[in-house]
Structure 1
């Protein structure tokens, strides 16, 4: 804790914790000709703006600030402080500020490491996926060439025909996985273009994209009057809804007509988008795994896909600072609830 004089730009009082965190006594600070010089150069403008704000602060206002302050031993300490006016001049202008602060150096170092790690993983995923495409193109080209030349010679060799078809199919699946991994690596909060979105209009667009799948299964995709506007990145929200609805169409018994119902629940700060289907459902023990990339819960021969669809959904929800939950019953269906900030 400290008391800072807005006229002299000096601390007039500090407590023991201040000295413990930053190393200075009140005499040390009093002898300092320019206290502002102890703030990190990168935050000098921030501090000046903050002090100007405090000099015109209204009664009862609290002003938080995060900055680096030079420790007596020369190290930089990250401080998170909250300041308020303690005393005023006769004309009502602030004269002294009461501030409290905590040392957040360790927290900020961890955040920086996490940021570096995430950036590295994003670069790695992009580079790895990009570099894998070239050898895969060669595998695909040579397997196509082999298949074309050998097919007349192996018409009666079922094993050879089967092995060639499996090789081509494996290359196609790997291509789909690389494509999905690239999409996943590109979803970051830095790329968001948030705006108001008409969810009914967006759902119509999703249904147009999935028109063949919907027609093939004679599926019913519907939404009620509760579905209105939401806030988000339109391209990513479209991709999110497309993945969820596509999954609902895919993971449905062949004998059952797929039905996907969508509704919204608007609350003070969030909107819940609830997508309910009548698919095959998910066992309780596997619900937590459905959002993991490349985690398949069913054999590939029964249901196609790379196993990354809901991982993309989770990442899109995450960069929108929302949450996703799944509730399911085997043989009855699955309900996915996406909660996004309203504003």
Structure 2
């Protein structure tokens, strides 16, 4: 009897050793656990998977090695294998060590001398990578299925192997109709050479980027599409097929055609408008010639004859006659000045401006040179805060603007006061601002917006002579050169006029 027990124990040890040797030989993690939920032995792959040496695992409670969370997840499977049932399951479990992993496990019960399992052997397959690939495949499949673009796969021989719902919708073929058919069912005859060229590139492993082309639907209608063709590779990297992504651009093409037609229409309208403007400019030029010569000629005659009367017949005209003649001369001169200012204002709207970089100091001194007589007559004091900045402007236009501002500064002062004008400039980012500041009668804020309009006068011609066009010329000329104008002033406190031009 004792001999049998020794033989049975030896057999059990032999079986245990045989099982251990098989487990050690397998590349898959294998372990044997006891009924009291401890590790009896582990294979080297199992120890490596958990990240501990095998001697630190053997004999330890399972829960201490894999962690409470993982143990609770596998406990129902342990209970089943200890009840004598072979267990196979797949689950995502958070292990201490490997972390959150998908595993496929097989638990097989082991027996000693009795009928109740004394433990189990666990074979654990880490299938996390497979699950990730399946999830990625699922996501890609969902993208393909839900894409608004037609996605068609074909072999190198041009046979359709798959197509998504968008392809069914765009081309009109159901998937079961299209699969197995040549790709040429959706290619118009005049586009077959294009397909041959794409396939030649594909066989070389080259991708064909977006290009616009035309395809044919089941009903024969032609569809404008934007097409991308990419090679499909097998596990060895060989090109075995092609993936085609087609976007329906019919609406885009219609929009482009409509825009092209609209552009042509606009170009025609612009050309027509340009011709009309050229005709208007020609008429304005003719009008300007008429004003300059035909209208001014009678004024010059009035002025000349009135002066002749005053010079040759003063003794017979008497005081009243001389006064009338003097008024005729003044009116003729005033009208001539008004005509000249109107012509200057009109030319600012039509003449081509030649913008160049100018030194404000140079242009200011040119304007002052032209006003020498008036400055001397009024004993005006002019101060320039050198150096002044530079601007991009047309020289003649800028000189006229500065002349008008200086003239106003000298003219609009209280009777008996000496005009004092200060000129300075300052940089403001990409712009240069020129200030012309005077000690004159000033302008109430409510009039600031009016004074730059044509024929706007705040004072009678008897008090301050002028045409009411000078500041309108300042504004028009400045704006045509890409600038702007303004004024800071209060009644009785002088005025600070400024113009801003690109530097």
**Fold shared per TM-score above 0.5:** yes
TM-score range, shorter chain: 0.5 to 0.7
Assess, with a 3 A threshold, how the Cα gap between structure 1 residues 286 and 268 changes in structure 2: closer, same or farther: closer
Show the counterpart of 1:28.
Answer: none
Show the counterpart of 1:101.
Answer: none
Instruction: State the structure with more CA Rg.
Output: 2
Assess, with a 3 A threshold, how the Cα gap between structure 1 residues 177 and 18 changes in structure 2: closer, same or farther: farther
Measured against aligned partners, the alpha-carbon deviations of 1:117-149 in whole angstroms (never above 9, x if no partner) come to 973784365245223122223322333344444
Select 2:316's aligned residue among 153, 171, 182.
153
Show the counterpart of 2:392.
Answer: 231
Measured against aligned partners, the alpha-carbon deviations of 1:220-249 in whole angstroms (never above 9, x if no partner) come to 211224522222111221111111011100
Contact 1:189-1:319 within 8 A present in 2 as well: no
Deviation at 1:311, TM superposition (A): 1.6
Deviation at 1:21, TM superposition (A): 7.6
Assess, with a 3 A threshold, how the Cα gap between structure 1 residues 170 and 11 changes in structure 2: closer, same or farther: farther
SS of the equivalent of 1:76 reads helix
Assess, with a 3 A threshold, how the Cα gap between structure 1 residues 279 and 178 changes in structure 2: closer, same or farther: same
User: Equivalents in 1 of 2:283, 2:473: separation in Å?
Assistant: 15
Show the counterpart of 2:329.
Answer: 168
User: Equivalents in 2 of 1:118, 1:328: separation in Å?
Assistant: 39
Show the counterpart of 1:287.
Answer: 448
Assess, with a 3 A threshold, how the Cα gap between structure 1 residues 22 and 243 changes in structure 2: closer, same or farther: same
User: Equivalents in 1 of 2:280, 2:446: separation in Å?
Assistant: 29
Deviation at 1:252, TM superposition (A): 0.9
1:168-207 correspondence runs (5 A) = 168-188=329-349, 190-207=351-368
Residue 214 (str. 1) matches residue 375 (str. 2): yes
Assess, with a 3 A threshold, how the Cα gap between structure 1 residues 77 and 5 changes in structure 2: closer, same or farther: farther
Contact 2:213-2:225 within 8 A present in 1 as well: no
Deviation at 1:303, TM superposition (A): 1.2
Deviation at 1:331, TM superposition (A): 0.7
Show the counterpart of 2:254.
Answer: 19
Contact 2:361-2:386 within 8 A present in 1 as well: no
User: Equivalents in 1 of 2:290, 2:449: separation in Å?
Assistant: 27
Which structure has more relative contact order (CA 8 Å, sep 6+)? It is 1
Contact 1:277-1:334 within 8 A present in 2 as well: yes
Deviation at 1:250, TM superposition (A): 0.4
User: Equivalents in 2 of 1:15, 1:225: separation in Å?
Assistant: 66
Measured against aligned partners, the alpha-carbon deviations of 1:166-217 in whole angstroms (never above 9, x if no partner) come to 1111011111111122222222475222222121222222222222222233
Residue 319 (str. 1) matches residue 483 (str. 2): no
Contact 2:381-2:421 within 8 A present in 1 as well: yes
Deviation at 1:16, TM superposition (A): 4.0
Structure 1 vs Structure 2 CA RMSD: 3.5
Measured against aligned partners, the alpha-carbon deviations of 1:20-65 in whole angstroms (never above 9, x if no partner) come to 6845xxxxxxxxxxxxxxxxxxxxxxxxxxxxxxxxxxxxxxxxxx
Contact 1:125-1:185 within 8 A present in 2 as well: no
User: Equivalents in 2 of 1:166, 1:212: separation in Å?
Assistant: 24
Deviation at 1:115, TM superposition (A): 4.8
Assess, with a 3 A threshold, how the Cα gap between structure 1 residues 214 and 137 changes in structure 2: closer, same or farther: closer
Show the counterpart of 1:119.
Answer: 281
Contact 1:125-1:182 within 8 A present in 2 as well: no
User: Equivalents in 1 of 2:382, 2:225: separation in Å?
Assistant: 66
User: Equivalents in 2 of 1:7, 1:265: separation in Å?
Assistant: 59
User: Equivalents in 2 of 1:283, 1:135: separation in Å?
Assistant: 40
Which 5+ residue runs of structure 1 have no aligned equivalent? 24-67, 80-104
Select 2:406's aligned residue among 227, 245, 258.
245
Show the counterpart of 1:143.
Answer: 306
SS of the equivalent of 2:474 reads helix
Select 2:260's aligned residue among 50, 55, 69.
69
TM-score, scaled relative to structure 1: 0.66
User: Equivalents in 2 of 1:333, 1:114: separation in Å?
Assistant: 45
Residue 271 (str. 1) matches residue 459 (str. 2): no
Deviation at 1:273, TM superposition (A): 1.1
Regions of 4+ moved over 6 Å: none
Aligned length, in residue pairs: 264
Assess, with a 3 A threshold, how the Cα gap between structure 1 residues 237 and 118 changes in structure 2: closer, same or farther: farther
Contact 1:248-1:277 within 8 A present in 2 as well: yes
Contact 1:206-1:241 within 8 A present in 2 as well: yes
Which 5+ residue runs of structure 2 have no aligned equivalent? 1-209, 215-223, 227-247
